[in-house]
Amino acid sequence: MTVELTLLAAFMVGLLGSTHCIGMCGGIVGALTMGLPESTRRSPVKLLPYLLTYNSGRLLSYTLAGLLLGLLTDTLSGVFKMGNFPIGGFIGGLFMVALGIYIGGWLQTMAPLERLGSHLWKRIEPIGRRFMPVKSPSQALALGFFWGWLPCGLVYSTLAWAATAGNALDSAMLMLAFGAGTLPMLLLMGSFAERLQYFTRHRWTRYIAGVLLMAFGMMILLKVLSGGHHMHGQMPHDQMQHDQAQHSAMMHSAMDHGQVDHKPQ
């Protein structure tokens, strides 16, 4: 799968799962706006900078988490393989299937992860509360950054997928694309947001999204099990180095035996 399609898939995961974000982050956005002067709350133009900076901070936290996880998996790449079998890719595929079941509403597969993340959240939440009530866009940015670590099965499952991206930069970009998909629901106001929320909460929308995510997870698993370990169509780094060294040795050997033709200038 190309990088562009992977980022598009991550964006769609965020968009289709954004009703979950309303439940998790909607109250925080409400608390953010209630702390502002009434004149700011009633003016979309004045309110927009606060919403943008809050969500920018949230996306920054997702991107940073993806980057750190990518660096970790790069460093411990040997741990994520059993011989030539990429355990990380296999786990990422399983998480995508579980995410599809979760989005479809058939089973709360992400609840254990959210309970596990709550232990870290207990340490981060007091820091985030220091920026409330929000009085400036810079405070909104900081609040969004810390609230981005709120325990969320949707984020955790996407992080597990990002761990299989192949490198730290792709992992960070995948999480950024996912975060961008959650923006419309949290930014749009008024009747259009209500229509979008109705669409994403519709039973068949959730079912279709769940089935698509499960199919995508199954595709990852089949790719891994069939030996296609790299989802972006890239040659493994070690293999590339080996092939380059082998090619260089062949060229030197050919030159030593006079087998390389030199065309006159």
The model's pLDDT over 133-145, given as tens digits with 9 standing for 90+, comes to 888 999 999 999 9
Give the pLDDT confidence score for residue 253 in this predicted structure. Answer: 56
Backbone angles phi, psi at 256, to 5 degrees: -65, -30
Range scoring the smallest mean pLDDT among 56-60, 131-135, 166-170, 229-233 = 229-233
- Which pLDDT score, from 0 to 100, does residue 142 have? 94
State percent of the chain over pLDDT 90.
Answer: 17
Inform me whether the pLDDT recorded for 177 exceeds 90: yes
User: Which pLDDT belongs to residue 257?
Assistant: 54
Q: Which of 70, 33, 38 is nearest to 55 (CA)?
A: 33
Q: What is the pTM of this model?
A: 0.72
Helices (H), the chain: 3-16, 18-34, 38-41, 44-75, 87-104, 111-129, 137-147, 153-162, 168-187, 190-201, 203-225, 237-256
Q: Give pLDDT tens digits for 144-172.
A: 999 889 888 788 888 888 887 778 999 99
Report the mean per-residue pLDDT for the chain.
76
Does residue 66 carry a pLDDT above 90? Answer: yes
Q: What is the pLDDT of residue 191?
A: 44
- The residue to which tokens 């995510």 are assigned: 213
Is the pLDDT assigned to residue 260 strictly greater than 50?
Answer: no
For the residues 37-62, what does the mean pLDDT come to?
89
Q: What is the mean pLDDT of residues 50-75?
A: 92
**Tens-place pLDDT, residues 181-212:** 988 877 775 445 556 666 666 788 778 878 88
Say what the pLDDT of residue 180 is: 95
The segment with the largest mean pLDDT, out of 160-164, 224-228, 240-244, is 160-164
Residue 259: pLDDT above 60? no
User: In Å, what is the CA distance from 185 to each residue of 16, 48, 89, 140?
Assistant: 10, 14, 30, 18
Q: What is the 3-state secondary structure (H, E, C) of 130-199?
A: CCCCCCCHHHHHHHHHHHCCCCCHHHHHHHHHHCCCCCHHHHHHHHHHHHHHHHHHHHCCHHHHHHHHHH
How far apart CA 116 and CA 152 sit, in angstroms, is 10
Cα 194–chain centre separation: 25
Predicted confidence at residue 237, as pLDDT, reads 46
